[in-house]
């Protein structure tokens, strides 16, 4: 029995640190890969896989967040303002998934998860054309919500001053980001970046670090509801959190060295593969 | 030490404390192995079977399960602490719009943790 538990823990740690590595290399976060691997290959029921994965996003968000704050790129005001929408979205998303699980409608979350994975392919392939956004005229929200900031960009070698616009559009997208996070147990960082980078016209670095800062608070909201409904399995969640933390750490070390495009294509292929499998599972085909 | 340093340390300390408890809990399965309680049902039990308020007290039993639960609670509490520190930060800056905004975020968190579970239990029962 003890030996079997040891083997199982080892498999969990390997699977979750692998997810953590590719999650950090693609910038999608470990959870995106974790839930498909757990449900498709390790036979873990979706609610437990989502619960463990949501917990692991808090670990990576807080772990990386403590490092980012030193660089002062994270915009705490913009992040906090948008968290009104992500926490509300997460509440609605988690309650929706409680309804789905209690009515045994799991196929819905498999289909949505597959769709989310496949939609990331586009994001992966068109990523980072411009580091800084084209300057846009400030609107009333810029002034009222103080959507301004500056940071020192080490790559560009200059101080960057920026301002955000369309706060309401950012909030709207953030509600959906929170909803998806609560529904699928992922950080939904890509959607958060979209809200800040595309909707609010913020620099890429500000969007990604602020998104990371927000993921922890969003996931804590969902976790509380998951917890109450018994979707957190401590053994699974603990092993996963530790594994993803290790993986994310290794990922950031590799990231410094790898900038090759071919690697991005390999990860994109993994995304497509897992996405199709999740959809097939949702439609009731094998796997 | 300014607020940003406090925030950075709070996040790091939260993750480290949580990781210590989680790793200790996982090790306890193998070190202090009392095969009697490590049954499948126990190992794969979930969070609906435990009273969250009892967890800190039960740590003294050195039962691995409570170490895992405690580590997870610390992990979930870390970003919440961060929001709480944020309220104080904006009060000190006299930035009242953001005091209100941060308070709303904190309120949402409290609703999710304390109010909704009870409400849902009523509906589902």
Give residue A6's pLDDT: 87
Q: Is the dihedral of CA B88, A221, A205, A161 positive or negative?
A: negative
User: In angstroms, what separates the C-alpha of A77 from chain B's closest C-alpha?
Assistant: 7
DSSP B60: G
User: In angstroms, what separates the C-alpha of B62 from chain A's closest C-alpha?
Assistant: 15
d(C-alpha A195, C-alpha A261), whole Å: 26
Q: What is the pLDDT of residues B92-105, one digit of tens each?
A: 999 999 999 999 99
- Residue of chain B whose alpha carbon sits nearest to that of A56: B75
Residue A287 has pLDDT above 70, yes or no: no
Give residue B57's pLDDT: 79
| pLDDT > 70 in chain B, percent | 90
Helix (H, G, I), strand (E, B) or coil at B5: helix
When computed from its CA atoms, the radius of gyration of chain B, rounded to whole angstroms, is: 18
- Residue of chain B whose alpha carbon sits nearest to that of A94: B112
- pLDDT-derived band at B28, boundaries 50, 70, 90: confident
> Taking CB atoms and an 8 Å limit, are B116 and A225 in contact across chains?
yes
Give residue B103's pLDDT: 97
> Taking CB atoms and an 8 Å limit, are A145 and B4 in contact across chains?
no
- Considering only the beta carbons, identify the residue of B78, B104, B117 that sits closest to A84: B104
Give residue A67's pLDDT: 67
- Considering only the beta carbons, identify the residue of A76, A224, A237 that sits closest to B113: A224
Taking CB atoms within 8 Å and a gap of at least 24, the contacts of B99-104 are B101/A80, B101/A81, B101/A84, B102/A80, B104/A84
Residue A95 has pLDDT above 80, yes or no: yes
Helix (H, G, I), strand (E, B) or coil at B87: helix
Domain assignments of chain A as residue spans, ordered by start: 12-282
Give residue A69's pLDDT: 64
Complex-level ipTM: 0.90
- pLDDT-derived band at A113, boundaries 50, 70, 90: very high
Structure-token pair, residue A124: 């992966």
- pLDDT-derived band at A61, boundaries 50, 70, 90: confident
In three state form, how does the secondary structure of chain A look? Answer: CHHHHHHHHHHHHHHHHHHHHHHHHHCCCCHHHHHHHHHHHCCCCHHHHHHHHHHHHHHHHHHHHHHHHHHCCCCHHHHHHHHHHHHHHHHHHHHHHHHHHHCCCHHHHHHHHHHHHHHHHHHHHCCCCCCCCCCCCCCHHHHHCCCEEEEEECCCCEEEEEECCCHHHHHHHHHHHHHHHHHHCCCCHHHHHHHHHHHCCCCHHHHHHHHHHHHHHHHHHHHHHHHHCCCCCHHHHHHHHHHHHHHHHHHHHHHHHCCCHHHHHHHHHHHHHHHHHHHHHHCCCCC
Give residue A136's pLDDT: 83
> φ and ψ at A164, to 5 degrees?
-100, 155
Domain assignments of chain B as residue spans, ordered by start: 3-124
Q: What is the mean pLDDT of residues A160-182?
A: 93
Q: What is the pLDDT of residues B78-92, one digit of tens each?
A: 999 999 999 998 999
Q: What is the mean pLDDT of residues B50-63?
A: 78
- Residue of chain B whose alpha carbon sits nearest to that of A246: B19
Residue A68 has pLDDT above 70, yes or no: no
| pLDDT > 90 in chain A, percent | 49
Residue A185 has pLDDT above 80, yes or no: yes
Give residue A129's pLDDT: 56
| pLDDT > 70 in chain A, percent | 92
Q: What is the pLDDT of residues A145-165, one digit of tens each?
A: 888 888 887 777 888 889 999
Nearest Cα neighbor of A240 from A73, A41, A78, A30 is A30
- pLDDT-derived band at A128, boundaries 50, 70, 90: low
């Amino acid at each position: 029995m003890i030996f079997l538990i040891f083997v199982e823990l080892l498999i969990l740690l390997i699977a979750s640190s692998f997810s953590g590595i590719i999650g950090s290399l693609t910038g999608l976060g470990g959870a995106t890969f974790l839930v498909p691997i757990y449900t498709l290959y390790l036979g873990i029921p979706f609610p437990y896989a989502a619960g463990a994965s949501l917990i692991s996003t808090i670990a990576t968000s807080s772990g990386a967040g403590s490092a980012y704050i030193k660089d002062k790129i994270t915009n705490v005001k913009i992040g906090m303002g948008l968290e009104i929408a992500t926490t509300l979205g997460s509440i609605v998303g988690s309650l929706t998934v409680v309804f789905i699980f209690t009515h045994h409608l799991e196929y819905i979350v498999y289909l949505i998860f597959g769709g989310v994975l496949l939609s990331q392919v586009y994001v992966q392939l068109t990523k980072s054309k411009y580091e800084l956004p084209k300057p846009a005229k400030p609107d009333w929200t810029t002034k009222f919500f103080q959507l301004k900031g500056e940071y020192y960009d080490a790559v560009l070698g200059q101080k960057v001053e920026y301002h955000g616009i369309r706060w309401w559009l950012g909030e709207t997208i953030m509600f959906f980001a929170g909803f998806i996070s609560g529904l699928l147990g992922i950080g939904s960082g890509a959607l958060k970046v979209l809200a800040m980078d595309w909707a609010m016209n913020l620099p890429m670095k500000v969007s990604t670090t602020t998104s990371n800062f927000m993921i922890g608070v969003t996931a804590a909201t969902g976790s509380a509801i998951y917890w109450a409904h018994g979707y957190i399995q401590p053994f699974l969640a603990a092993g996963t959190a530790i594994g993803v933390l290790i993986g994310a750490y290794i990922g950031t070390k590799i990231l410094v060295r790898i900038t090759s495009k071919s690697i991005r294509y390999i990860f994109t292929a993994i995304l497509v593969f897992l996405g199709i499998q999740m959809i097939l599972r949702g439609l009731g085909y094998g796997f | 030490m300014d607020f940003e340093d406090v925030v950075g340390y709070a996040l790091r300390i939260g993750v480290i404390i949580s990781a210590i408890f989680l790793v200790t809990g996982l090790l306890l399965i193998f070190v202090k192995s009392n095969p009697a309680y490590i049954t499948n049902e126990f190992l794969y039990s979930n969070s609906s079977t435990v009273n969250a308020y009892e967890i800190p007290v039960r740590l003294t039993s050195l039962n691995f399960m409570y170490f895992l639960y405690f580590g997870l609670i610390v992990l979930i509490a870390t970003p919440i602490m961060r929001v709480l520190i944020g309220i104080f930060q904006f009060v000190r800056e006299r930035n009242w719009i953001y005091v209100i905004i941060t308070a709303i975020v904190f309120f949402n968190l409290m609703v999710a943790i304390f109010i909704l579970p009870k409400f849902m239990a009523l509906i589902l029962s």
